[in-house]
């Protein structure tokens, strides 16, 4: 029996609002699409939480023996300031402000995003398609929707006709929004005049003369709407109907609702069997977001260089902190919570190092036959908790129990000479497997991280002093020598200094 048959996964499906037993379209295979970042600024911790959620989902499916195709896109065009059909493209705006080519902006922030993913041990997806590489497909599906009478062209732009779609299907199926109410409440904006209804959304936009990101199309020079790229890239790589679509809760409406309408309209079938939404990382109860000015960058957390941080926290502490709550709950960010997470992770980390040592070195007897039922029950509980809608919080609680039992082995509380070798290996290997492969909590030498942050503080103080004394030769030497050692010092406002590891 396969592990995924022994421990069937249940998922809270946002489409039904219920927990459902997961059944993949093709036995043994999982196809999953997750909305990726819009690469116009640095990924903050809130973004990281969403991608961590789906990292766990794909890791656990693989651990159970499924073959997973995980597609996570890069949005490099079409996402407008304000998230609607009006305003400047977020990337084009950044390019204008920084006097860069849009693709320079895209490259820079894509690399930053990848670095954050690597630091947090969030594994790369199987395919990472970008919107600008799928313009032809976006034009094709737009044409198809026009042919089906579900979209219309006005002044070189093409809009999706929501009212028409709703006559055959159900717009609002995911978000529970009511189309009449939506038509009443839509905001009046300039070019909404050209839409038949306020609720219609852009599939293709005519580019004004100053708009730099533009492509030729049957309707003139323009650019795709934000929602269409995900419909195109998910169905291209996973099929017209696929297993799972994920993203942050804030994308449920309108983005995901529009994705369903576009795909159902074009292909005549519902695109996704299970919709999963990850909840927000908050600060004092408010969504962490760059525009609210309450966002932290992962690099700031790892270096401790942020006015609201008491000190640095390691990537694994950060990961542990996030996994302590279920993905469907909000998670509030605070120094206290991080400090508690650091303590918790240290315990599990120590047991991880010990488990690895024990697996390598412990002497067991070839004839020993004793089984320890509690060990098997703990392993079983890890599977059951993870299969229960990826409950990382409960799984961590079981791992703490397992860590205590591992310490018992070390302390001689259990006489391992009497224990069957396979039983011991099963227990220890599953502790290691759930920590590293499923939760992605890698072994970390905590001492080094703290020591580095402390030493950097000393060097920063010395450099500040050198500057105050106008000893620029020394201040430059500190900066250059650190750079040669892979550490970049950054001079901020008010003489503050931060650092980043290359």
Contact flags string 215-254 toward ligand AMP, x per CB under 6 A = --------------------------------xx-xx---
Cα first-last separation, the chain: 46
Cβ of 415: how many Cβ atoms within 10 Å? Answer: 10
Dmax over CA atoms of the chain, in Å, equals 83
| Pairing status of strand 222-224 against strand 242-248 | unpaired
Cβ atoms of residues 231 and 263 within 8 Å: yes
Cα distance between residue 179 and residue 347, in whole Å: 52
Cβ of 26: how many Cβ atoms within 10 Å? Answer: 12
Residue nearest to ligand AMP (CB): 248
Check binding of 38 to ligand AMP (CB under 6 A).
Answer: yes
53 makes contact, choosing from ligand AMP, Zn ion, none, with CB < 5 to 8 Å by partner type, with none
Complete DSSP assignment for 408-425: HHHHTSS-GGGB-HHHHH
Near ligand AMP by CB under 6 A: residue from 4, 24, 30, 46: 46
Check binding of 463 to ligand AMP (CB under 6 A).
Answer: no
| Pairing status of strand 201-206 against strand 157-160 | antiparallel
Cα distance between residue 471 and residue 464, in whole Å: 10
Whichever of 46 and 224 has its CB closer to ligand AMP, that residue is 46
Check binding of 130 to ligand AMP (CB under 6 A).
Answer: no
Rg value, the chain, Cα: 26
Min dist CB 122 to ligand AMP, Å, is 12
Angle between helices 392-411 and 335-361 (to 10 degrees): 50
Min dist CB 434 to ligand AMP, Å, is 24
Min dist CB 169 to ligand AMP, Å, is 25
Two structure tokens written together for 350: 């120590």
Check binding of 35 to Zn ion (CB under 5 A).
Answer: yes
Near ligand AMP by CB under 6 A: residue from 24, 42, 50, 423: 50
Check binding of 405 to ligand AMP (CB under 6 A).
Answer: no
Residue 480: burial class (beta carbons within 10 Å; 0-12, 13-18, 19+): exposed
Give the HSE-up count for residue 155: Cα atoms under 13 Å, Cβ half-sphere: 11
Whichever of 329 and 471 has its CB closer to ligand AMP, that residue is 329
Cβ atoms of residues 359 and 428 within 8 Å: yes
For 141, the 3-state DSSP assignment is: helix
Min dist CB 33 to Zn ion, Å, is 8
Near ligand AMP by CB under 6 A: residue from 35, 141, 174, 460: 35
Cβ atoms of residues 275 and 234 within 8 Å: no
Cα distance between residue 118 and residue 125, in whole Å: 12
Min dist CB 316 to ligand AMP, Å, is 19
Angle between helices 335-361 and 421-432 (to 10 degrees): 150
Min dist CB 277 to Zn ion, Å, is 12
Min dist CB 255 to ligand AMP, Å, is 9
Cα distance between residue 404 and residue 410, in whole Å: 10
Check binding of 287 to ligand AMP (CB under 6 A).
Answer: yes
Among 17-25, 30-38, 359-367, 493-501, which window interacts with Zn ion (CB under 5 A)?
A: 30-38
Number of chain positions touching Zn ion (CB under 5 A) = 2
78 makes contact, choosing from ligand AMP, Zn ion, none, with CB < 5 to 8 Å by partner type, with none
Near ligand AMP by CB under 6 A: residue from 228, 281, 398, 456: 281
Whichever of 265 and 298 has its CB closer to ligand AMP, that residue is 298
Cα distance between residue 331 and residue 152, in whole Å: 42
Min dist CB 258 to ligand AMP, Å, is 14
Near Zn ion by CB under 5 A: residue from 45, 91, 116, 230: 230
Q: Could you say which residues in the range 251-280 bind ligand AMP, by CB under 6 A?
A: 251, 280
Complete DSSP assignment for 163-175: HHHHHHS-TTTTT
Among 285-293, 351-359, 376-384, 483-491, which window interacts with ligand AMP (CB under 6 A)?
A: 285-293
280 makes contact, choosing from ligand AMP, Zn ion, none, with CB < 5 to 8 Å by partner type, with ligand AMP
Give the HSE-up count for residue 379: Cα atoms under 13 Å, Cβ half-sphere: 18
Min dist CB 277 to ligand AMP, Å, is 8
Among 101-109, 287-295, 346-354, 437-445, which window interacts with ligand AMP (CB under 6 A)?
A: 287-295
Among 225-233, 326-334, 343-351, 367-375, which window interacts with Zn ion (CB under 5 A)?
A: 225-233
Residue written as token pair 């079938």 = 269
Give the HSE-up count for residue 231: Cα atoms under 13 Å, Cβ half-sphere: 30
Near ligand AMP by CB under 6 A: residue from 14, 24, 42, 47: 47
Number of chain positions touching ligand AMP (CB under 6 A) = 16
Cβ of 28: how many Cβ atoms within 10 Å? Answer: 12
Whichever of 282 and 425 has its CB closer to ligand AMP, that residue is 282
Binding site for Zn ion (CB under 5 A): 35, 230
Binding site for ligand AMP (CB under 6 A): 35, 37-38, 46-47, 49-50, 247-248, 250-251, 280-281, 287-289
């Amino acid at each position: 029996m396969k592990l995924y048959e022994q421990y069937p996964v249940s998922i809270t499906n946002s489409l039904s609002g219920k927990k459902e037993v997961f059944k993949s379209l093709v036995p043994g295979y999982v196809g999953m699409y997750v909305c990726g970042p819009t690469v116009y600024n640095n990924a903050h911790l809130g973004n990281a939480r969403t991608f961590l959620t789906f990292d766990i989902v794909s890791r656990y499916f693989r651990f159970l023996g499924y073959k997973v195709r995980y597609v996570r896109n890069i949005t490099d065009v079409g996402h407008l300031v304000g998230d609607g059909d009006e305003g400047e493209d977020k990337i084009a705006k950044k390019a204008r402000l920084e006097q860069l080519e849009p693709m320079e902006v895209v490259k820079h922030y894509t690399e930053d995003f990848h670095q954050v993913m690597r630091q947090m041990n969030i594994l790369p997806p199987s395919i990472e398609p970008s919107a600008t590489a799928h313009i032809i497909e976006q034009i094709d599906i737009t044409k198809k929707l026009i042919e089906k009478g579900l979209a219309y062209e006005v002044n070189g732009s093409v809009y999706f006709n929501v009212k028409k779609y709703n006559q055959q299907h159900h717009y609002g199926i995911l978000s529970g929004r009511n189309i009449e109410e939506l038509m009443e409440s839509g905001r009046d904006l300039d070019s909404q005049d050209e839409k038949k209804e306020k609720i219609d959304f852009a599939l293709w936009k005519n580019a004004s003369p100053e708009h730099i990101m533009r492509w030729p199309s049957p309707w003139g020079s323009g650019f795709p709407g934000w929602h269409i790229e995900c419909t195109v890239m998910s169905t291209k790589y996973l099929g017209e109907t696929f297993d799972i679509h994920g993203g942050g809760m804030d994308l449920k409406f309108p983005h995901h609702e529009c994705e369903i309408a576009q795909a159902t309209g074009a292909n005549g079938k519902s695109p996704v069997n299970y919709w999963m939404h990850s909840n927000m990382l908050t600060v004092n109860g408010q969504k962490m977001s760059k525009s609210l000015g309450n966002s932290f960058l992962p690099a700031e957390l790892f270096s401790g260089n942020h006015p609201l941080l008491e000190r640095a926290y390691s990537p694994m502490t950060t990961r542990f902190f996030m996994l302590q709550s279920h993905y469907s709950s909000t998670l509030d960010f605070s120094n206290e919570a991080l400090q508690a997470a650091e303590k918790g992770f240290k315990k599990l980390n120590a047991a991880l190092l010990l488990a690895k040592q024990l697996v390598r070195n412990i002497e067991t007897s070839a004839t020993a036959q004793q089984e320890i039922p509690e060990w098997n029950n703990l392993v079983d509980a890890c599977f059951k908790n993870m299969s229960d809608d990826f409950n990382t919080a409960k799984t961590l609680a079981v791992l703490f129990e397992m860590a205590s039992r591992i310490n018992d082995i070390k302390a001689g509380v259990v006489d391992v000479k009497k224990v069957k070798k396979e039983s011991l290996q099963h227990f220890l290997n599953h502790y290691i497997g759930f920590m590293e492969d499923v939760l992605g909590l890698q072994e970390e030498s905590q001492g080094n991280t703290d020591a580095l942050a402390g030493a950097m503080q000393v060097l920063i103080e010395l450099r500040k002093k050198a500057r105050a004394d106008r000893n620029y030769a020394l201040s430059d030497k500190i900066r250059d020598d650190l750079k040669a050692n892979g550490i970049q010092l950054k001079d901020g406002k008010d003489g503050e200094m931060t650092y980043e590891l290359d």
